[in-house]
Amino acid sequence: MYAIVEIAGQQFKVAKDQKVYVHRLKEEEGKKVSFHNVLLLEDGKNVTVGAPAIDGAAVEAKVVKHLKGDKVIVFKKKRRKGYQKKNGHRQFLTEIQIEGIIAKGAKKVEAKKEAAPKKETPKAKKETAPKTAAPKAKKEAPKAKETKKAAPAKKAAPKASADLSKNTVAELKAMAKAKGVEGYSSMKKAELIAALSK
């Protein structure tokens, strides 16, 4: 009996008691892991192909040890340009031993992990609030341009320092010009906010 299973982004043909080197896994040495992304199962004459994975199938394995692979030389050269680079690379690997292949009835432990993203959805709503505030600042920009035409409105335009930080540098410079601040063209955003908040 053998199976084709996806482990850490790579597909492997595995059988019971086989040792396989895979990309580094998070599990510690001696721990048992199960892989539920089984793409194909062969049991004697019967071959089961998943679409894309077989429901209820799993491959159970034990983490034997973590190690680094053999050194691979990465050599780059561009002829007639005086350019060459030589680097070495050793891939982080995990040696696992296949303990069994389950054809049906494997339980996924990932159901607990799905509950965590649901808790994060309120955070996502909080993050969207500043994004919606940014277009409001853009909508306020035409108002600032309209206030340039009327001089009394420009004097009323300076707001609290928290509101000024939402404006662009161009808007702040326009406000500084209206207020009569000297040297506003060479000022940075923080300096403009400080000058306008006085």
What angle do helix axes 169-179 and 189-196 make, rounded to 10 degrees?
40
d(CA 43, CA 41): 7
* Average pLDDT of span 160-179: 81
Beta bridge partners of 63: 96
Segment 104-143, tens digit of pLDDT: 876 776 544 444 455 555 554 555 555 554 555 455 555 5
Q: Is residue 154's pLDDT more than 50? A: no
Reading phi first (left if > 0) and then psi (alpha if -120 to 50, else beta), residue 17 is in left
Q: Is residue 36's pLDDT more than 90? A: yes
Per-residue tokens: 197: 């908040």
On whether the CB atoms of residues 96 and 33 are closer than 8 A, the answer is: yes
Which pLDDT value is given to residue 117? 52
Segment 42-84, tens digit of pLDDT: 988 889 998 889 999 999 999 999 999 999 999 999 999 999 9
d(CA 114, CA 39): 23
d(CA 20, CA 3): 13
Beta bridge partners of 162: none
Q: Residue 165's closest CA among 182, 181, 188, 184?
A: 188
Beta-strand pair 2-7/38-43: antiparallel
